[in-house]
Amino acid sequence: MGLIAIEWVQEYHGRWENPANTQQNAEGFYNTLSGTQKFAHGDDAAQDHHFEENGMGAPATGDDAGFVETVDIVYFAGHGTSLAFEFGVSKDDARAKPAEIRWGDGRLKWVVLNACDVLLDKPGFRAIDRWGQTFRGLRYILGFGTLTSDEPDRGQIFALYLNAGSTIREAWVKACQDTEESFTEWAYLRADGNGVSTRQDTWIDHANTPNKPNPPDAIHYVHGAC
């Protein structure tokens, strides 16, 4: 069975407005997806360095090898911008930024960023340009290209689709469409490479695959209206 982790933030200590439903959103995913629960960190226990590569950026205190790289899928629920996803405490700088991230050199295959604008894409400010450098064996980043609502049930719904055998991309799109208004834009980045195609990835069939699209030959950006 695949290994699952979540991190969520409701208490932002004045850095951001406190969302009401991030815990329920993330825990719904964690408690519904079939697999082995590895870790669940919320509020002050959720920290940006868990997602960042050691030695990258400033401060260069990342520890993804001890956290997100030990699981197959990680689901984050909290605030985000087009430049980072945000945490409530400054153990590093409280922001996980693409320049400090390199995902997939451990076990990690899929990252879900249930946060506003993280995959915003527009002329001169492309999601692939920002996030492409983070793919070091990672298969997908799932997120939003616009603002998104503080929604309580999306994680559970996403997990139910995964358990039913939907592909990773289809499950995310359907979960977003089930929980958002039409003006919200779902988005994902997907890597192919090294003879590996990820288009038909499923949780059931690929959680334990050792094959990695590294180096990536192509990174695909796909988005659409909910």
pLDDT score for 106 = 97
Say how far residue 9 (Cα) sits from the centre of its chain.
Answer: 14
Assigned token pair, 31: 């408690």
Give the per-residue pLDDT at 128.
97
**Predicted pLDDT of residue 142:** 98
Q: What distance, in Å, lies between the first and last C-alpha atoms of the chain?
A: 31
Q: Which domain holds residue 60?
A: 3-225
Residue whose pair of structure tokens reads 């030990």 in the numeric block: 70
CATH number at residue 216: 3.40.50
List the chain residues with pLDDT less than 50: none
CA 77 from chain center: how many Å? 9
Using CA atoms, how far residue 195 sits from 27, 100, 173, in Å, is 35, 27, 26
Number of domains into which the chain is organized:
1
